[in-house]
Chains A and B, each alone.
Chain A
Amino acid sequence: KQEVTQIPAALSVPEGENLVLNCSFTDSAIYNLQWFRQDPGKGLTSLLLIQSSQREQTSGRLNASLDKSSGRSTLYIAASQPGDSATYLCAVSDGGSQGNLIFGKGTKLSVKP
């Protein structure tokens, strides 16, 4: 059974710092991996989708990498801003027509001005 773990559970950094969020999964047979952002009381916003054949994806100040063989992904946030404060969730899909996602519990990020 696939399990997704995110470390750390919470992170507080000063504004401007570069940071890395970690995600690990137990079964390397994934189809894709998706990073989301969730603001308090809100739905999930998709940040980046990495297909299993890809090594990384970039969007603005965000860069996500995927090492399928070791069961790891990282989300790199450059030059963090207070507006980046949110919970970041990692999820993997094991393929199949259903496209079901298995989620980690998230990392709660706080960027202090």
Chain B
Amino acid sequence: SQTIHQWPATLVQPVGSPLSLECTVEGTSNPNLYWYRQAAGRGLQLLFYSVGIGQISSEVPQNLSASRPQDRQFILSSKKLLLSDSGFYLCAWIAQGPGEQFFGPGTRLTVL
């Protein structure tokens, strides 16, 4: 069966520090991968999606970037965090788009 992992589970970082969040999927090949952010009191916002290795599409201009170095690995990064980057970051996958989307457990990021 398929499993999606995210780490770390929680993270507290100072403003201006770098960021690296990792997401990996097991039990499937060539999935579509997604990064979402859920800010307090707001809905889920799609940040990036990837349909294959090295293929990244950004949905909104922002301080973050994403990379997909391996088929089942998706990384969210920042060189310098802002206060507004705080939120709950969720990774998701689909075996073939469009289809049923499955989410990971999330990473709670607090920028101080």
Contact of B98 with A96 in the complex, beta carbons under 8 Å: yes
B42: chain A residues at CB < 8 Å are 105
Per the bound structure, the CA–CA distance linking A81 and B27 in Å amounts to: 33
Q: Tell me the minimal C-beta distance from B40 to chain A in angstroms.
A: 12
Scoring A residues 87 to 98 as 1 if CB is less than 8 Å from chain B, else 0, what string do you get? 001010101111
Interface size on B, residues (CB 8 A): 27
The reply to whether A99 and B97 form a contact with Cβ atoms under 8 Å apart is yes
Interfacial chain B residues near A97, Cβ < 8 Å: 32, 51, 97-98
If over half of B's interface residues share one DSSP class (helix, strand or loop), that class is named, otherwise mixed; here it is strand
Interface size on A, residues (CB 8 A): 26
**Does residue A70 face the partner (Cβ distance < 8 Å to B)?**
no
How far, in whole Å, are A36 and B100 apart by their CA atoms in the complex?
A: 11
A54 part of interface (Cβ distance < 8 Å): no
- Given A34-B101, A43-B90, A93-B98, A101 contacting B46 (CB threshold 8 A): yes
Say whether B57 contacts A99, CB under 8 Å: no
Chain B residues with Cβ below 8 Å from A32 are 98-99
Would you mind naming 25 contact pairs between A and B with Cβ atoms under 8 Å apart?
A31-B98, A32-B98, A32-B99, A34-B101, A36-B103, A41-B106, A42-B105, A42-B106, A43-B103, A43-B106, A44-B90, A44-B92, A44-B103, A49-B99, A89-B44, A91-B101, A97-B51, A97-B98, A98-B98, A99-B32, A99-B98, A100-B49, A100-B98, A101-B46, A101-B101
